[in-house]
Amino acid sequence: MASLNIGFIGLGNMGAPMAANLAKAGHKVRGFDVAGTTAEGVEQAQTIPDAVTGADVVITMLPNGSILRQVAAEAIGHMREGAVFIDCSTVDVESARNTSEAAEKAGLLAVDAPVSGGVGGAEAGTLTFMAGGSEAAFAAAAPLFEIMGQKAVHCGDAGAGQSAKICNNMILGATMIATCEAFALADKLGLDRQRMFDVVSTSSGYSWSMNAYCPAPGVGPKSPADNGYKPGFAAELMVKDLGLSQQAAELVDADTPMGARALELYKAFVEEEDGKGKDFSAMLPRFAGRGRGN
């Protein structure tokens, strides 16, 4: 594809490698981050208008819906008609829809496209994008998704990408807790962790949490458990995503007891225990060190 002028706002742990991959692919990328962070091959902008003026595409990767709304309000007014606004943040569905509506009113194509794959996927260009927006907007964004990731799914209209992401991560949070509980129970039953993995990973207990991201050190493929639970996906981010799932469930009157309990457990792990700054799979030592009365 022809080289594009891309404005990238939010050069954090995820945004920086995503922007760098776009630059590596031959696009001209101007990046802005309030913390002043940069990315390889990306020209540093001093303000949001500086990053987005004249851009063919603007991509955001931001912490929450409130910040997205503020950034979008400033950026959209400086973008040219017909340009594409892609938000890759994980935010509430309402903020995603609000941003898309504002962009479309300004004559832009808008896509909400949260990602799965973590920092490793951002660096390797193997992310999965869950996209919401019109067919035309998705088609315009798709070539960039191919650079930054390995798969992009058009989930539906505005907000559908966020809906898919929070449903996915609600499953992830609950299955990781179940996986960690099972390993802790196996320990107390005297069952070897490797043998436990060998059975479950090829049986009906199979899951991504067990097979691809095993929380037990030295078992299964290499994961954060093998690096002292240094975050690949921080427990704090799981609290955020589970919170978004429960916010959405309340809005549409959906019964999600497992998601609600997973949020309670992760929130306690981060706020009251020692989970802050650890990978979300560090629930395993948390359960392993506790009994029924704890």
Q: Which residues are catalytic?
A: 165
SS3 of residue 259 by DSSP? helix
Pairing relationship of beta strands 28-32 and 84-87 according to DSSP bridges: unpaired
d(CA 101, CA 233): 30
d(CA 171, CA 174): 5
- Among candidates 153, 176, 175, 177, which has minimal Cα distance to 165? 153
Vertex 281 angle, CA 276 and 283, to 5° = 70
Torsion angles phi and psi, residue 112, rounded to 5? -95, 125
Instruction: Name the token pair of 51.
Output: 């990053």
Please report, for residues 177, 180, 223, 283, 294, the alpha-carbon distance to residue 290 in angstroms, rounded to integers and kept in the order given. Answer: 14, 12, 23, 11, 6
d(CA 201, CA 51): 46
| DSSP character string of 180-223 | HHHHHHHHHTT--HHHHHHHHTTSTT--HHHHTS-SSTTSSS--
d(CA 112, CA 106): 16
